Amino acid sequence: MGENEVISGDRKGGAKPKAFSDDEHAWHLFRTLRWKDDICCLYCECDQVKRHSKRGGGIQYYRCKACGKNFTDATGTIFHRLRIPLSKVFYFAHLLNVGTPVNRIHKRLGIAKSAAFRLAKKLRTSSWYDEITTLLEREKATGNITARQR
């Protein structure tokens, strides 16, 4: 393994955590942080929430049975209506967290430079940043990896 690469094998799609390439899994992880065990309505705080379908690569839609409003896993967070898939955003957050310069991240992930700087700022100032990067570290450490599963 190359020690200079932050994550070895990423160019070949090798030993990279699932969370960095699989949107379904990335949303699943985000749900474990956001909702823990209880989903409650963002508008009326009722816990009678019905799950709708999943869309856009794994984002879950919900409808509150009490007030009838709809929301998603991302409503009210920085992940709402992002143009970049969540797994890529997670990879971005991870690279940022381990000190990779945004100038390199944007090339590596194929994101426009200006969009990358905006996303970096959004992530760093978000209350989710620490929780997400901690969770991603754990994903890496526990070997929840696409290519080399135990």
Residue selected from 64, 105, 119, 145 as contacting Zn ion according to rule CB under 5 A: 64
**Binding region for Zn ion (CB under 5 A) out of 54-62, 64-72, 81-89, 134-142:** 64-72
67 lies in the site for Zn ion, by CB under 5 A: yes
Query: H/E element holding 49?
Result: strand 49-55
The tokens describing 132, both together, are: 């997400």
Nearer to Zn ion, 41 or 136 (CB): 41
**Any idea which residue has 């009210």 for tokens?**
76
**Binding region for Zn ion (CB under 5 A) out of 14-22, 34-42, 97-105, 107-115:** 34-42
Q: Widest CA span of the chain, in angstroms?
A: 54
CA distance 14 to 148: 8
| Number of residues near Zn ion (by CB under 5 A) | 7
The residue among 31, 45, 48, 7 whose CA lies nearest residue 140 is: 7
120 lies in the site for Zn ion, by CB under 5 A: no
User: Nearest distance from residue 127's CB to Zn ion, in Å?
Assistant: 23
* Burial tier of 13 (Cβ tally within 10 Å: 0-12, 13-18, 19+): exposed
35 lies in the site for Zn ion, by CB under 5 A: no
- Chain contacts with Zn ion (rule: CB under 5 A): 41, 43-44, 46, 64, 66-67
